[in-house]
Structure 1
Amino acid sequence: MPRDIPSPDYNAGHRRRLRDRFLKTGPERVADYELLELVLFHSRPRGDVKPLARMLLDRFGSFSEIVSAPAEDLMKLRGVGESTATALKAIRAAAIRLMQEEVRERAVVSSWDQLIAYCRAAMGFSKREQFRVLFLDKKNRIIADEILQEGTVDHTPVYPREVVARALDLGATALILVHNHPSGDTTPSKADIDMTNQIRQAASVLGIVLHDHIVVGRSAHTSFKARGLL
């Protein structure tokens, strides 16, 4: 067998050693490409997956960018089929679900950093603008977490009446608005500011408080409240 092609015994041993090290030392002691290998082991039960792991990192740049990439973009790479793309997307879905549950367990005002991390993970990598509303109860716990609108790469139509009507349906007493800027620049636009003021005014008439409006990107966020826009 050519020297540059690992033998089946070597691949099996490598998989076993990597699994053992991961379980004994934890994820902090595992490099990104090794974490990818662990995921790829399940979709590619045989063979050497290290080249594919490194190819994915070269193409997308980081573990988070890989699992956040659309499935169709992942499958453009040679060696990435439907099962591999599904395994990678499942990792992201599981991470977001875990973060969402942790945020729901506490009042959002006391777990603000977790809330920001969740919003960025859930929306920051999207190629289209999304408008999300967190509906809160009197204890500032999340009643509902809903994407009310999804638009184009730089615009999402938002209707204040729909936001307030949904808040009334849920019995919410407070709101947090969240939307993403696919460009990565989280500076609020004039349209963002105008729409936020319209929602704040409509909600306030009915005794509903708008706590904040957060704009998220891949690696940054902007809080309307922190910038004095609310």
Structure 2
Amino acid sequence: MSSETSEAPDKTPPKPARAEPPHYHGHRQRLRERFRSAGAAALGDYELLELVLFAAQPRRDMKPLAKALLKRFGSFAEVIHAPETLLREIDGIGEACIDQLKLIAAAATRVTRGELKHRTLLSSWNEVIDYCRTSMAFADKEQFRILFLDKRNQLISDEVQQTGTVDHTPVYPREVMKRALELSATAIILVHNHPSGDPTPSQADVRMTKSIVDIAGPLGITVHDHIIVGRNGHASLKGMKLM
């Protein structure tokens, strides 16, 4: 008989291996730290988009989606202003991401609009252009907008009068004047967008502008300009001596 004592097998279950955090967790923290220390100018468009989308998807690597959005639409501004129907065509995007993008677009418009409040618009022309481009340049349909001004050329109201198709918006000069009189405006700035991206005015744009000027004059209302905005810039009919 053996003198060795047999030991009972250890039935304690092994401890599970500690799960490694997903690789993008460290990436998120590094990206946030770069944003805090160096500012937005130090980040590429796709990195800024990642930061925006982090809130919508807290447990997912957002770099592939950010790059896919930029590949499809071209730039940060074009992504946040892209139509929701087109955004939904991007693989991997969800409603939370779309909501986050639209929130950023709305915030950008609200900020630029706020900068115009209580300003003399004719002395803040660059801000007027920035606001018009932020609000309309990336829309997929034509919009006709009017900035109504008081006698000090400060903004009374900013209104989209008509929304049309991809290349046409019906504009009714008498309706424009009716609204100006309702608001007691003494001047207006006409604005519309070209979804094609090219802001070059068409002959129809020139004719419509002249018809509004002709009606406005006898009513004591000045038409300061007609601005056309697009992804590729803007055009001023007054600057081009077309009105």
TM-score (norm 1): 0.93
2:136 is equivalent to residue 123 of structure 1: yes
2 CA distance for matches of 1:191 and 1:52?
A: 40
2 CA distance for matches of 1:58 and 1:149?
A: 31
Superposed displacement of residue 134, structure 1: 0.3
Deviates further, 181-190 or 208-217: 181-190
Q: Which residue of 2 aligns with 1:10?
A: 23
Amino acid at match of 2:72: R
2:121 is equivalent to residue 108 of structure 1: yes
Amino acid at match of 1:184: G
> In 2 relative to 1, CA 9–187 (structure 1 residues): closer, same or farther, beyond 3 Å?
closer
Of 156, 160, 163, which residue of structure 1 is paired with 2:173? 160
- Is the Cα–Cα contact under 8 Å of residues 8 and 47 in structure 1 kept in the other structure? no
> In 2 relative to 1, CA 17–206 (structure 1 residues): closer, same or farther, beyond 3 Å?
same
Of 149, 172, 188, which residue of structure 2 is paired with 1:136? 149
Higher normalized helix content (fraction of residues): 1
Amino acid at match of 1:204: G
1 CA distance for matches of 2:31 and 2:200?
A: 43
Of 62, 70, 74, which residue of structure 1 is paired with 2:83? 70
2 CA distance for matches of 1:9 and 1:216?
A: 44
Root-mean-square deviation (Å): 1.5
Q: Which residue of 2 aligns with 1:206?
A: 219
- Is the Cα–Cα contact under 8 Å of residues 140 and 166 in structure 2 kept in the other structure? yes
Amino acid at match of 2:58: P
Q: Which runs of 4+ in 1 moved over 3 A?
A: none
2:79 is equivalent to residue 44 of structure 1: no
Deviations 1:51-98 (A, max 9, x none): 211222222221111111111211111110101011011111111110
Superposed displacement of residue 116, structure 1: 0.9
Q: Which residue of 2 aligns with 1:220?
A: 233
Superposed displacement of residue 197, structure 1: 1.2
TM-score (norm 2): 0.88
Superposed displacement of residue 219, structure 1: 1.7
2:109 is equivalent to residue 96 of structure 1: yes
Amino acid at match of 2:123: S
Superposed displacement of residue 10, structure 1: 3.3
> In 2 relative to 1, CA 120–53 (structure 1 residues): closer, same or farther, beyond 3 Å?
same
Of 82, 87, 98, which residue of structure 1 is paired with 2:100? 87
Superposed displacement of residue 9, structure 1: 5.0
Amino acid at match of 1:59: R
- Is the Cα–Cα contact under 8 Å of residues 144 and 171 in structure 2 kept in the other structure? yes
Superposed displacement of residue 12, structure 1: 2.3
SS in structure 1 at match of 2:140: coil
Q: Where in structure 2 are the equivalents of 1:181-196 lying within 5 Å?
A: 181-196=194-209
- Is the Cα–Cα contact under 8 Å of residues 71 and 86 in structure 1 kept in the other structure? no
Extract unaligned runs of 5+ from structure 2.
1-19
Aligned residues: 225
2 CA distance for matches of 1:142 and 1:8?
A: 53
Q: Which residue of 1 aligns with 2:9?
A: none
Which one has the largest radius of gyration? 2
